[in-house]
Amino acid sequence: MAKGSILLKILTVIGDRTIDLCDMVDIYLSTTVPRVSIRKMENMLYERQSQREKERFKREDQIESRRRLKIYISKLKGDGLIEQTRENKILLTSKGLEKLQRIKFRPCNQEFEIEKSSRIIIFSFDIPEKYRKQRNWLREVLKFLNFELVHQSTWVGKIRIPEELLEKLEEMRILKYIKIFEVTKIGTLKELN
């Protein structure tokens, strides 16, 4: 390979961009075969730079995620929801456990689809006081499903009851306190559960 052609290749690849000297030397040494074109050297350099950029972006994302997590953990500590032990373990406080229980029973954490029905559904319940949290949760779900309160613990709507809701009510052990009716004809009722 002629002295001038090597110089031409190096200068052409560098062009007006800044190139890491290590990359340039490595590419040059790996392409000492005279038939390697300038285009091939440029492609090799581009691939290395692209890979390096991807790794840099990934590291920056990880650093940002850690920073946000630390801020959130600090906020949870400040709110008294978690505490950190001497062994650097994070535990829920009693206040944190209470908050977790409230969040678990929020209807917004459930994925119930609202599906309209052509028939009127009457949803009535008489849930004992010991299930107060579940009863309040159920009221929120019925509001979310666009049912209307017509009388104490009696709700009416033209919405199909989601199967997932019935499963959740059974899991919460309150389904036995609930009656669901479907109005099949004006003036008649059909019990659904």
pLDDT in tens, 153-189: 999 999 899 888 999 899 999 999 999 998 877 666 5
- State the pLDDT at residue 49: 81
Residue ranges of domains in the chain: 3-55, 111-191
Q: 111-191: which CATH topology?
A: Alpha-Beta Plaits (3.30.70)
Helices and strands (DSSP H and E) totals, the chain: 6, 7
Average pLDDT over residues 127-152: 90
- Token duo for residue 23: 């990359």
Q: Is the pLDDT of residue 113 over 70?
A: yes
Using DSSP bridges, classify how beta strands 116-125 and 178-183 pair: parallel, antiparallel or unpaired. Answer: antiparallel
Q: Say whether pTM exceeds 0.85.
A: no
- Token duo for residue 133: 């949290």
Mean pLDDT of the chain: 80
Strand partners of residue 148: 156
Q: How confident is the model at residue 65 (pLDDT cuts 50, 70, 90)?
A: confident
- State the pLDDT at residue 190: 64
Q: How confident is the model at residue 16 (pLDDT cuts 50, 70, 90)?
A: very low
Average pLDDT over residues 3-28: 58
At residue 167, φ and ψ (nearest 5 deg) are: -65, -40
Report the percent of the chain where pLDDT is more than 70.
71
Q: How confident is the model at residue 18 (pLDDT cuts 50, 70, 90)?
A: low
How far from the centroid of its chain's Cα atoms is residue 138's Cα?
Answer: 24
